[in-house]
Amino acid sequence: MKSKATKIWLFQRVMHRRAKTTEKYLFAIVVAYAVVVAFMNPRFLRLETLFDMIAGGSGTMLLALGLSVVLISGGIDVSFTAVAIVSAYISVLTMDSLGIDNVAFAMLMSTSIGLCLGFVNAVLIQFLRLPALIVTLGTASVFHGAMAVLLGTTDFTKSEMPQSLVTFGSASLITFTTENGRYGLTMALPFVIGALILTWLILHHTMLGRSIYAIGSSEESASRLGIGILRTKLFVYGYMGALAGVMGILYFSELKYVNPTSLVGTELIILAAVVIGGAKLTGGEGTLLGTLLGVSLFALFQTTLVFLGLDSSWRNFFFGGVLLLSLGVMYARQRVADRKNLVFEAN
């Protein structure tokens, strides 16, 4: 009991809040699944497995962080994979045509393009007064289709793409050599950590963060309080676009291959990871810890099924099961809370 009380106290000291029920359930699922995999195949406990999980989940985590902010604001975005590909592809084409071979240039340009495309989403959502899902479904097709029509969809192989991107994708923060080979920690990790810290600071230590939660809870009430709805949405969707731009460059660099038709179509998996983490589709609720746990579970399923001797198609089966369980728990608790509120009001 004392140990449990200590853990609760440490969590509250670090997070400045109590752990949510969804976070507890998700953490238990992650730990239980890891224990089962380790029991069935001890190779899971090797360091290279952790490195593979971090490499496989880094890009997903960047997109999930941006999407968490969007969902908390009461919106939704399914165009971010298209934004990632379009931003990164235009950057690669520009580098190739201008003869600029610099990772920093690629990152800056791709992030800027992603930011602008995010602004387009925000403006259309605000002024057309259409559901965000409809708008971003449309812009996803428009962004990717316009790129294909105006710029083409030529692939760049490892030898054809800017070598600075290849070098960056091959580099490692830390490298270990074991009897099974040489393994490195992906260079994408600092970007993920930086985005995680930045997102946490924005959501919990700025007036902008309070505005995001406020419009997610009730846009009309937030407007009456004097919160700038358009300004907040410009940030929310612009931030999503900027992170997507970063992810696009990281994706091409890690892949060492530029394919302008890849990645698009995976947005629902990332949306599911964020929802599993406790973010409500109706807005106003969501935590970064929940998002981290949701993405970790996705990375576990993506990396470890081979240790269980299962086909990769089982990943969607397990992930879908956890999604249904999480949604069931979340909305069952909401119904209980609604009943209590009704009883209270009746009295």
- Could you tell me the pTM of the whole model? 0.89
- Cβ–Cβ < 8 Å for 191, 180: no
What DSSP state is assigned to residue 158? T
Domain parsing of the chain, residue ranges: 44-262
Strand, coil or helix: 182: strand
What is the rounded distance in angstroms from the CA atom of residue 255 to the CA atom of residue 61?
17
Three-state SS string across 113-145, please? HHHHHHHHHHHHHHHHCCCHHHHHHHHHHHHHH
Q: What is the pLDDT of residue 12?
A: 54
Per-residue confidence of the chain (347 residues) as pLDDT tens digits?
A: 455 555 554 455 555 566 677 778 888 888 888 888 888 878 777 888 888 888 888 999 999 999 999 999 999 999 999 999 999 999 999 999 998 999 999 999 999 999 999 999 999 999 988 899 999 999 999 999 999 999 988 888 888 899 999 999 888 888 877 766 677 888 999 999 999 999 999 999 999 999 999 999 888 888 898 899 999 999 999 999 999 999 999 999 998 988 888 887 788 888 888 888 888 888 888 888 888 988 888 888 877 777 777 766 676 777 777 777 766 766 676 677 667 665 444 44
Burial zone of 340 (CB within 10 Å; 0-12 exposed, 13-18 middle, 19+ buried): exposed
Cβ–Cβ < 8 Å for 174, 117: no
Which of these, 260, 283, 290, lies nearest to 77 by C-alpha position? Answer: 283
